Amino acid sequence: MTFGRRLAQAMADRGPLCAGIDPHASLLLEWGLSDDVAGLERFALTAVEGLAPHVAVIKPQSAFYERFGSRGIAVLERVVAASREAGALVLLDVKRGDIGSTSQAYADAYLDPTSPLASDAVTVSPYLGFGSLTPFVETARRHDGGLFVLGLTSNREGPEVQRATTDTGETVAARMFTHLAGLNEGAAPLGSFGAVVGATIGDAVGDLAFNGPILAPGFGEQGGTAADIRRIFGDLPVLPSSSRGLLRRGPSVTALRDAALATNDELR
């Protein structure tokens, strides 16, 4: 079953919320945990217990695990495995972007089922040229995985590149969406190749009808609301992503669960 089909089913069953598990040092402190591997493990696996059985997608941010070296990566492997066992799809937030054999190695690390970090989908950057993502695209297709390509991000530096104009007069981001439309052509009920579009980006997002899912970070703690999601994206298949807004409810597993369920109800 393709990632797009699995995602559409998960969103129908569990709602659209994507829960980020991002172990910021400040959040470890708020939970009364030490900023070390033991604290990381307690934090991350508690978050999985509270969130993964109740949301469509879990999105760990790899950097917060990588900062602890190999032992941190081992915790990330457990987060990926435990989230999938709980029925959630895993979108590994790595934002990789390279060329040739290096790009292929990244794709194998995150999308090949034989890898200990194998996930359902990953975030990638197309700004070495969309064609640089070909190893990711081919690997995702081979293993029924998915990609979320950076499109219109909510960081203030993004417009310098993403809203620049190409030789055809369209913006760079619009060109990325055109490429995605080509990859998703004919897919039903939903393509496997999505885009990252910030929930705080405003209304001038352009044509997002590329038959793929939209990951919308910036929802919740960063200011994006359910009303913003509806206004900006309408009926498009969007995954509003929240991390700190949910994680601040911990370390209570019950409070994490209740926050996820209430947020999904609000988004529906």
**137, exposed or middle or buried, with CB in 10 Å at 0-12, 13-18, 19+?**
buried
**Are 63 and 70 within 8 A, CB to CB?**
no
**Are 128 and 96 within 8 A, CB to CB?**
no
Whole-angstrom distance, CA of residue 121 vs CA of residue 113: 12
Active-site residue (options: 24, 84, 95, 244): 95
**Are 140 and 192 within 8 A, CB to CB?**
yes
DSSP helix/strand/coil, 223: coil
DSSP helix/strand/coil, 133: helix
**Are 252 and 31 within 8 A, CB to CB?**
no
Q: Terminus-to-terminus CA distance in the chain, angstroms? A: 25
Q: Has 95 been annotated as catalytic?
A: yes
Closest CA to 216 of 161, 127, 148: 148
Alpha helices per DSSP H over 112-236 = 134-142, 159-162, 172-184, 226-233
Q: Which residues are catalytic?
A: 95
